[in-house]
Each structure stands twice: as structure tokens, then as C-alpha cells.
Amino acid sequence: MAMTQERYVGREVLRKEDPEFLTGRARYVDDMALPGMAWMAVVRSPFAHARIKGVDVSRALGMPGVVAAFSGADLRGEWAGPLPMAWPVTEDIKNPPMYPLATDEARYQGEPVAVVVAESRAQAKDAAEAVEVDYEPLPAVISVEDAVREGAPLVHADLGTNASYTWTLTNGDVEKVFAEAPIVVQGRYYLPRLIPTAMEPRGAIAEANPVTGEITLWSSTQIPHITRVTMAAFVLGMPEQKLRVIAPRVGGGFGSKIRVSHEEALLCVLSRRLGRPVKWIEERSENYLATHHGRDVLQEIELAADEDGRIRGYRVKLLANMGAYLFLVAPGVPLLGAFLYCGPYGGEAYHFECTGVFTNTTPTDAYRGAGRPEATYAIERTIDQLARRVGKDPVEIRRLNFLPPFTEPTKSPGGLEFDAGDYGAALDKALQLVGYDDLRKEQAARRERGDAKQLGIGFSSYIEMCGLAPSRILGQLRYGAGGWDAASVRVLPTGKVEVAIGTTPHGQGHETTFAQIVADDLGVPVDDVDIIFGDTELVPRGMDTYGSRSLSVGGIAVHRACQKVVEKARKIAAHMLEVAEEDLEYERGTFRVKGAPEKAKTIAEMALPAWTAHDLPDGVEPGLDALSIFDPVNFTFPYGTHVAVVEVDTETGETRIVRYVAVDDVGTVINPMVVDGQVAGGVVQGIAEALYEEARYDENGQLLTANLTTYAVPAAPEVPAVTIGRQEIPSSSNELGVKGVGETGTIAAPPAVINAVVDALSHLGVTEVERPATPENVWRAIQRAKAQGPPGTQGGSATGAAPATEGGAA
Amino acid sequence: MIPAPFEYERAESVEQAIDLLAAHEDAKLLAGGHSLLPLMRLRLARPSMLVDIGRLRDLSYVREEGDVVAIGALTRWHDLATSEVLQRACPIVAHTAAGIGDPQVRHMGTIGGSAAHADPASDIPAVLVALGAELVARGPGGERTIPAAGFFQGLFTSALAPDEVLTEVRVPRTAGRGWSYLKFHRRAQDWAIVGVAALAGDGGPPAVALTNMGDRPIRAAGVEEALAGGASPAEAAERAAEGTNPPSDTFGSAEYRRELAKVLVRRALEAAMAGR
């Protein structure tokens, strides 16, 4: 079988998984029913902070269809330990234990305090309402600023403080650089709390086998492997090999399903106790209280610069809202941005400091971008201030400060070695695509005319880190696991290929992208390659999907496993062709004898002989399969420039995005269509963060945005078409040259949009706008500027004095 | 997501619906369900019984009756938006209907259901008030006609008695008059943060009514008075917030809504006077 067709990598292969999704045949947890299955409903604290004086389930037990009901005290003996927290970032981190049901105190609205099991979902829900909990409300603290104040109510009284940890990083002589710098600009930014809002809320079914002691847990999760090891050993106290975790089709996650959850633990225990499968599906309003939130960070950044605007130093201080407890990787989320507050720019001194703070709110954790949107927002907003301060255009200031182009690892001020990039080229491409010069002319004309609707152009030249992560570095950062991933490639006797991957797709298109890599490596049609994932029994090794790691770690494991198969096949081919291995050339599935290319064997041709094993060379095991476990040596660093063009109605404060250009270098592109989809989706989510989404609590810790009506996720009419440009400089961190694309848009978009809003209003004296830039927040920024007089009179652009913003209600 | 338990009856006639309402305390009428059902799913509404009138086809119509366009209470937004009669005789209603919710909502939600729900953030109440519409209700004691200005009595409170069914909405023909309904919202599917219904030009004095500037749709009397006194739209609009009591919520503060009302009233008047 001669391979004459072009390579699959780089082609827009239609997604193999889509027919199943598009015809409604994909099976999610909620599509599953097991014989004898019962339903769980969770009773949650209505208070942000309250003492639990008593829980009475007797009335619930008398309700129709109710099977069982338990308080936290009833189940206390079931737990081998608290729910896991995997990233103790400092030695002295305060990590109060968190159990699946609270027993003494509830510390956030939505914290589980009791469970009910009934024959139907509706019966469980009705009975949950009948559980009587005697609460004594306690003072609550909501915002990070309030929480660190002297005398603030304590979330965990026994800790004596609301501060969980402080983590620092210093490179160079920061004090000296700042003392000597002629220019220092400061920014202070509050990034609102966000709610991930995956299309499919969480849900799970546990089925315990009372005879064998095995439990199977089907869960809408991003992390079946991490769940298995942590849940079995630390929470349920059962042998790890007896817990099987299956992530079937999962309808999005955005980080919110990186969770070893209260509900999963409860289902396992309830199934074990009741001897029946037990199911739970989260309601949307429950999702908004009980699934983790993201961001909610107060950042202060200072840049030290020369008079011409060249940056010499960075100084960053964060207060990160952890919520009431530390969820799985929450303390480490700021660390994923900690090294990147220098963006793609140079400099010689760098200091970062972050304090994780407890509040009486839903715990936060990773949300698409995790740490990197925070860093990008801080530097990209502040470099615009620096531009205004030194009288340069935002484009000029960026060009002045970019690290020069490079293809080998290059040290950045934050201390990481970036892999490969040409930052200026990406910016130039973006300028060309957006038509920068004409836009500035149009902007000037509108200002001249005094139009109600003003034009603004905003830039974001971001860099991020993907490919989580080199295990050694994770060890240095005190993460509780490694960052490798695994793949098994099996060439079946019929020549078809089955690949078991350790990453767990939930919308990313692994089944297509990985199949393209395999098809090229083994010279088989892409339709002959099937990808298996998301089941700890079928795929025993894996570290799952988050942090744009699947391709740049898992994809490399797939590629290397293919190489191993090829090496084994080489032995068999040499034997079959009766030549030495060195006499064979290999290209895309075919071994040819050097100098005699008509003598050839394809991988597919060798599949059956390798399986029958009738005539294998000595010492060669039957079968054509291989496992690879890849541990990256370095992160990957996607980057690019995004440009937002907005029209701001100066009378109403309404912002409309009229053009959006994204130029990204995500390394080698395997499937351009999948990449474009990730870019566009990420940008939309970033625009949502900039203009629409904000989780708001009142001063008592009641979530005011607890449904899709009040939590403003934009829909298609609200978001623009995204013009996508691309630059492709292979990463030096792996042999495929891939970097990662899952989060670029979410990381890049918010500062581009907000810089554009500020740019539209800069002639009015506006230098800052609170996020999200809702019509009211923009209107308020305009009113403040008007009250302060024309620009220049306050020197406001130099300090960028942001209004104090709070996490609480406005 | 999952409502509290309730009984359900489908009414085959208005009379049967009235009987069911009278027989069951705490019963609610179900028309398109796009206001009531979301509240029930959040368990913020817990009616003991739903009386489903959604299939009373004889309450779905748009017809001209002299100077009036009569609209059946169960006419859906989509049918109003695409009604050739309304587009000709009272285009502000068709236009407003076209901007409510999303296509799914517009194919289910009804004008009568929205009016009876009396949500001050809904669009149609202010339009009906600006138009001087009349609403027809039928109860055990027969039929009565209620002017729009008196129909909306407060937050989710209408003039309907618990055993009355809203059967018809009667709007005047406005053909030839300028009109505008401006709805300010963040997302296409959102309720109005502020909305302004304006009628101007030949055929009567200018009329302006506001959405979501109080516990019910409010006639902008100060604006109308200023216009009658010869003020320009910009001058008159400065009085848009007079007599209003807008809410402060996650969509906007009262202060912002007052300022927004001025901008939107000016724009709505300018659009109406331009004779669109």
C-alpha cells in the first residue's frame, strides 16, 4: 500500500467525534441509567457562614420515595480523610480540612450539609427541602481586601487568620532597579470572580459492588486518573485498584471539572452503604453555588522604566481569593501566572508575591487560563499606561520592549526559559490585518466631530505557558503529582490502530488531532485510527486534561509510542525482507530496502504476521504495540498579539466590538480548523470576561448572580466574528513543535478589549474602567473623568489610579 | 430546574379556565410559560395548580376593528412581530414583539401572559401604556375592559382578579404617527435595563412611557408636559427621570437608570419625530 497522499498533520480533517455530537448520540452521564439506580440530592447551606447546631432528617425520611437521608455527622466515620488539595505551595500553607459534608460550621453558601437519596430525582429534590437544619448565622467576609483587614471575621476561627499562604519569587536586584528608575508606573486591578459555566453541569453515578468491594464512578470530570488515586486512597480509604473512574462524553469544563468533589465522594459512599447505584446531576443554579469559581484577584503591579519607556523591572503583589477552603489546585493557580507578569518583554529585575486568602465564598480554582489571564491583564494594561506616560503609541512601546526573535530556549525576566518566538512579527501581522493606520484616522475624525460613539483600539501582546508540566519543576513548586502523560499505541492484526491516551478530552477534539499524528507516523488512513480515553481501566496511565497540556504532553507521548512501534516493526521488516535493520529506510508507514525501493513492507502488512507470531525474529515479542510516557523538559510558550476595535457610546457607556484580530503562534498546527475553533472560543470567553461576566455577592455572602439570567454569559448576537491570523514557529520544547491553544484567547482578549475601551475614552481623561466594562461601569468611568477635569490635570495617566473595587455588591 | 409538585389541568375554554381558577386557591394560568415556568423551576413560584390555556386557539388573533386593533391574549410574539396588520396599523407593537427574548421565547411567549405577569422589566407593558391600550378580562361576573394605565398596579401585580382571564388587548391604530421603542440591554435575550416607548407626530399629543423605571410601566409625564410646552426632545428628555423609582440590581443602579432614561428618551423622541 503506497502512501501517496499528503500528510494529515496540518490539514483540516473533519472532526471524527462530531457526527456523534451533532446527532445527539453522544452519551453523557445524564444519559445513563443503571438497574436499581437511586438519586441523590444535596442539602446546601443557605448561609455564607453559620454554625450548624443540628440536622434533622426525620421529616425527609418520611417523604415519598425516600431511601435514605444523612447529616454530616452521620457520615463522618466514612471518610479516610478530607477531600484532597494537591498543591501546598508553601511549607506553612494553612489548609483546613474539607469533608464532603460540613459538620460543625458551613463556610459558604452552597456548602453541602446533608444528603437525601430517593427513587427519583424529583423526590430527592423535594425531600432535600424537608431536611431541617438549625443554623446560627455567623459574620461573613466576602472580599479579599476585607478579609485581610485587622479584626475581619475569620472563615476558620482556629487558624487565627484568613491568610492561607504567601508565595514569593524574586529575580535580580529589584530594590535597586526601582530606586534608580526615572519612571515607575503602577496599576491596580481587580479581576472579578467568574463562574465557569460549562454547557453540561457536573454529574456522576457511583455503583459499588458489595461482593468485590469495587466501585465504578462515572463522572463528568476532566480528571478521571487524578480522581482515582486521590479519591480511593485519601477519601474513601479503599484499595486504588478497586476504584474505576470513567469520564464518558463530557460537555465542557473550562477547569471547573478539575475537581475531586464532595458529590463524587458522597455517591461512592452512599452506593456502598445502600447497595444500589446512586446518581446525581447538578442543576444550573446549584452549579453556580457548588462548582468552583475562578479569578477574584486583586493585583498591584509596578513597572520600572527608562525615560524612553524601556522596562527594567517588575514588581507584583496579589491577593487571591481562595474562597472558604482550598480546592484541588487552587493555591497553585496564581503560580501559573507568577512567572509571566513580564509578558513577552525584557528587563532585569522581577518580584512577585501572592497571598491566598480565605473568604466565605464558593472556593475558587482553575478557570480557563488559570493565572495567565491575571498576569497578561496586569502587564498589558500597565504597559499602555507606560506608553501614555512616555508619550508613545501602544504599538511603539511594545516593539521597544519585546524580547528579540529566538528559536532556542531564552531566559525571560520572570525566570522561565521561553521556547521560541518572534513577538514583533506577530504584532506586525495583527496591525496589517486590523488596518491600524486607517483606524487611527477614523478615531481622530470621530473625536473631532465629538460623536457620541467613539472608537478605541486596544492591544494585547501576550505570552503564556502550556504543556503542564516538567515533573521536576512541579516538584520544585510543591505540586503533589507529576506532569507527564502516557499513550499506548496498538496496531491490531487487521492493520487498524487503537490508541489509548491519558488525557481526557471534553470538547478539544483529541480523537481527530491525535489520529492525524498517528496516521502520519504509521502511514495508515486517519479513519483507521481510534482513540480511547477517559476510563482508568482501559487507560491506566494518565494525568488528564487541563492547562492546554493535552497535545504538547499527551500528543508527544502518542508520537513517541508510534516511534517505538516503528522501531519494533523495523526488526520484523528486516526479518521479512531478509536484510539488516540498517539497510531499511522508513517513511510514513513503509520500510524500503536502501537501493532497492521495490522491496518494501508497510506497517499494516506486518500487523498480521506480528500477531500470528509464526515467524518473528528471535527475541521479538508478538504484537505491534508500545507504551510511551512523556515527561516534558520545558513548558511551551504560545504567544501573539490580539487587537480589539470597539465603539463606545459615551452617553450610555455601551461597548460594541466592531473588529477583533487574533494573531497567535501556537507552534506547529496539527488541525487548523480545531485550532481556529479553540482561538475563537477562547476569545469569546475572554470578551465575556472583559465586558459581561461577574459573579457578585451581597455583603452577607448571598450570590446575586446565581443563574444564567443574572450571570451574563454572552450569546452569539453579542460577540463579533474573530479574524484569525497565525504564525508558526515550532516550539523547541518537543519534537512536534507544538505549543498549545486551549487558553490563548481567554488569556489575550480581556486586556485587548479593556485597553480599547480606555483608548476610546482617553481624550475624555479616562484611564481606567472597572471590570467587567458593563455599560454602567464605563459610564461611571466617564463621569469620574468629567468630574476630574480634562486629561493631564490630575496626572492620572501616570499612576493609573484604579478606583477601589470590591468583590461585594455595588 | 425541578419545580415543586403541582396539579395540572388543561382548560378547553375560557369559561372552564375561570371555573378552575375559582375552584382552586393558588392556581395559576399557564399560557406560553416563559415567565411562570422559570420561576417555578427556581421554586420561586409554587402554584398548587396550573390551568393550561395555551391551546385555546380562539384567543390567538390580530384583527382590525375600526380605530382599534384587537389582539387575542394568547397571540405569540412571533405572530405579532410578523403580523401584516400590526406592521401597518400599529407598528410599534410588531417591532417590540420582534425584540423580546430569543426566537424560542417568541414562539412560545404570549402578549396576554406577559401583560398579566406585570413584570416592570417586560417591554410590552410600557408600549401598551404609551398607546393608551385597553385590556379585556373575563371572569365569573362577565367581561370588563381595563385601561392599560390602570391595569399595571405594581411589581407582578395587575388589576386582574384571581379568577379572571385576560382575553384581549386592544391597541389604537397609529398608522401615520412616528413611533419608537428603544430597549437598552446588555444581551439580546435580556430584559430591558431601561426601555422607552414613544409616539409623536400627527394624530395626538406625544406619548412617552418607560420600562423598568419603577414597579410598573410609567408614563413620562414631565417629558410629555415639556413637549406640550414646545420643548425640544433634548430639553424634554432632561425630565425623563421625574416621578420614577427605578430598581438597583445586578443589571444597573437606580442612578444609572435615571441617566440612561434621559438619553434613551431623547433618542426615542428623535427617532419618533423623524417619522420612522
Instruction: Over range A401-411, report the average pLDDT.
Output: 95
Instruction: Over range A585-605, report the average pLDDT.
Output: 95
ipTM of the complex: 0.97
pLDDT of residue A797: 39
pLDDT of residue A541: 96
Domain assignment of residue B12, given as a range: 7-52
Band of residue A794 on the pLDDT scale cut at 50, 70, 90? very low
Of B2, B184, B189, the CB nearest to A715: B189
Instruction: Over range A604-609, report the average pLDDT.
Output: 95
Instruction: Answer yes or no: is pLDDT of A809 > 50.
Output: no
What is the domain-level CATH number for residue B72?
Answer: 3.30.465.10
pLDDT of residue B275: 72
Instruction: Answer yes or no: is pLDDT of A610 > 50.
Output: yes
What is the domain-level CATH number for residue A586?
Answer: 3.30.365.10
Write the pLDDT tens digit of every residue in B159-218.
Answer: 999 999 999 999 999 988 999 999 999 999 999 999 999 999 888 899 999 999 999 999
Between positions 55 and 74 of B, the ones with CB within 8 A of A are none
Band of residue A198 on the pLDDT scale cut at 50, 70, 90? very high
Q: How far is B189 from chain A (nearest CA, A)?
A: 8
Q: Tell me the chain B residues in contact with residue A714 when contact means C-beta distances shorter than 8 Å.
A: 187
pLDDT of residue A795: 40
| End-to-end CA, chain B | 42
Decide if B2 and A283 are in contact by the 8 Å CB cutoff.
Answer: yes
pLDDT of residue A546: 95
pLDDT of residue A798: 37
What's the CA gap between B223 and B243, in Å, rounded?
11
Phi first, then psi: what are they for A685, rounded to 5°?
A: -65, -35
Whether chain B has a CB inside 8 Å of the CB on A696: the answer is yes
Chain B interface disruption, residue of A774, A777, A782, A783, most B CBs within 10 A? A774
B135 lies in the same domain as B186: no
The percentage of chain A sitting over the pLDDT mark of 90, rounded to a whole number, equals 96
Instruction: Answer yes or no: is pLDDT of A232 > 50.
Output: yes
Position of cell 465564598? A361
B38 lies in the same domain as B127: no
Band of residue A806 on the pLDDT scale cut at 50, 70, 90? very low
Instruction: Over range A143-170, report the average pLDDT.
Output: 98
Query: Are the beta carbons of A281 and A574 closer than 8 angstroms?
Result: no
Band of residue A808 on the pLDDT scale cut at 50, 70, 90? very low
pLDDT of residue A792: 54
Q: Tell me the chain B residues in contact with residue A129 when contact means C-beta distances shorter than 8 Å.
A: 4
Strand order in the sheet with A485-491: A529-532, A497-501, A485-491, A624-630
Of A121, A707, A712, the CB nearest to B186: A712
Q: Could you give the angle at which helices A423-434 and A394-401 cross, rounded to 10 degrees?
A: 160
B123 lies in the same domain as B38: no
pLDDT of residue A791: 64
Band of residue A466 on the pLDDT scale cut at 50, 70, 90? very high
Bridge partners (DSSP) listed for residue B62:
B71
B123 lies in the same domain as B207: no
Instruction: Answer yes or no: is pLDDT of A801 > 70.
Output: no
> With the CA atoms of A576, A577, A578 and A583 taken in that order, what torsion angle do they form, in degrees rounded to the nearest 10?
-130
pLDDT of residue A807: 35
Q: Tell me the chain A residues in contact with residue B259 when contact means C-beta distances shorter than 8 Å.
A: 779
Instruction: Answer yes or no: is pLDDT of A803 > 50.
Output: no
Alpha carbon distances (Å) from A326 to A191, A330, A434 = 19, 6, 43
pLDDT of residue A778: 98
B163 lies in the same domain as B66: yes
B221 lies in the same domain as B254: yes
Domains held by chain A: number: 1
- Low-confidence stretches of chain B (pLDDT beneath 70): 276
Grid coordinates in use for A41? 440530592
pLDDT of residue A1: 44
Decide if B186 and A707 are in contact by the 8 Å CB cutoff.
Answer: no
In a domain, A229, yes or no: no
pLDDT of residue A6: 83
pLDDT of residue A62: 98
Domains held by chain B: number: 3
Q: Which of A8-22, A440-454, A521-535, A795-809 has the lowest mean pLDDT?
A: A795-809
B110 lies in the same domain as B160: yes
B144 lies in the same domain as B239: no
Helix (H) or strand (E) holding B136: strand B134-139
In a domain, B132, yes or no: yes
Band of residue A2 on the pLDDT scale cut at 50, 70, 90? very low
In a domain, B1, yes or no: no
pLDDT of residue B201: 87
Decide if B186 and A774 are in contact by the 8 Å CB cutoff.
Answer: yes
The percentage of chain A sitting over the pLDDT mark of 70, rounded to a whole number, equals 97
B35 lies in the same domain as B102: no
Domain assignment of residue A566, given as a range: 18-25+484-630
Write the pLDDT tens digit of every residue in A336-351.
Answer: 999 999 999 999 999 9
Whether chain A has a CB inside 8 Å of the CB on B186: the answer is yes
Instruction: Over range A569-584, report the average pLDDT.
Output: 97
pLDDT of residue A802: 42
B168 lies in the same domain as B194: no
